[in-house]
Structure 1
Amino acid sequence: MTSTPETDESYFLRVFFRSEAAQKVREEGRREVRADERAQTVVMILERRGLDVPDTLRQHILANRD
Structure 2
Amino acid sequence: MSEVHVTTDVKITVADNGPLIVNGGIDLLDGEGKELATKEATYLCRCGLSSNKPFCTGAHKGKFESVVRA
When normalised by structure 2's length, the TM-score is 0.20
TM-score using structure 1 length: 0.21
Structure with higher strand content: 2
Bigger-Rg structure (1/2): 1
Higher helix proportion: 1
